Structure 1
C-alpha cells in the first residue's frame, strides 16, 4: 500500500516550504517535491512491487529448499539410507 506523508502546504499545485535555513528571509521558498507524471509513478510503483515480490519468492525458495533438505535428512535417519 502507498506510504508517504500528506503535505498540507500545497500552493497552486506545487509543494513548497519555508526552509529553516532562510528563517530571516521569509520570502525565500524552497521546492520540496517535483511533479511526477502518472506514467512515471506507475513505473516506479511497478518496480517497487516487483522488487518486493522477488524478495518474497527468494525467501520462499530458500525455505522450500531447507524443508526439502530437512525432509531428506529425516528419511535418511529413519530408514538408515
Structure 2
C-alpha cells in the first residue's frame, strides 16, 4: 500500500471540510476514493465520482492502476464552464 499526499482543489477542498492536503494510504485510486469518502463523508464522495485525478502531475483515468509510493494525488473537481 502506497503512502500518498492528497491535495484538494476548489469544490473538492470545500467538500473535504476545507482541508488543503493530507496523507493517505491506498494502493489504487478506487481504494483512495473509498478511503476519502469514509474519512470526509458522502459530500466528498459525490465530488470524487466526477473528479479528475493527477498522479504526480499526470492525468490518471485507470481507477485500478497501482499508485506509486510517495505520490502526490491532486483531486480536481469539474470546474464551471469546463
Normalised TM-score (structure 1)? 0.22
Name whichever structure is richer in helix by fraction. Answer: 1
Greater relative contact order (Cα 8 A, min sep 6): structure 1 or 2?
2
Name whichever structure is richer in strand by fraction. Answer: 2
Normalised TM-score (structure 2)? 0.22
